[in-house]
Amino acid sequence: MNLRPVTPEDDDAIWRILEPTFRAGETYPIPRDVSRADALAYWRTPGHAVFVAEDAEKIVGTYYLRANTKGGGAHVANCGYMVASAAQGRGVARAMCTHSLDEARQRGFAAMQFNFVIASNERAVRLWQSCGFEIVGRLPAAFRHPRLGPVDAFVMYRTL
């Protein structure tokens, strides 16, 4: 697997990954009917460093890295990751997380925080725990899951 910075030519491939995940509405607090333009603008917000994961020259995942806040909180990074549904279970998310932790360290961040890991996304919670993140907060019923109804969300954190 190859991790590299995004280019504008990757927009179509990224949207093919983002669209089904946002449409399902089960893992990100993003409107299910978000437009392609808004979704790409969100993923590639100014200040986000965006990377793609390639396997056999096909983009199978993408993530962004940013400072979670500014000023006195600017030493804490934040990331969002997404894996193509056809590439689930092949270690893409773990590879991106490992890459992002290295990138964050190189950029001088001292910690990384995930603000909103939906509790029903158990695979993600376990994966982030295995990558060194701890659950440091629980937001009660902070997410309305389209199938499960109200579910908690976790704040997860690790030092770098």
Q: What does the binding site for its own copies look like in residue numbers (CB under 8 A)?
A: 22, 25-26, 28-32, 34, 69-76, 110-111, 113, 115-116, 118, 136-146, 153, 155, 157, 159
Nearer of residues 86 and 148 to its own copies, judged by Cβ: 148
Tokens, residue 65: 């890295």
Nearer of residues 51 and 154 to its own copies, judged by Cβ: 154
Q: What is the CA radius of gyration of the chain?
A: 15
Residue keyed to tokens 């280019």: 7
- Provide the b/e sequence for 110-128 (b: ≥16 CB within 10 Å): eebbbebbbbbbeebbebb
Amino acid present at 147? R
Nearer of residues 52 and 82 to its own copies, judged by Cβ: 82
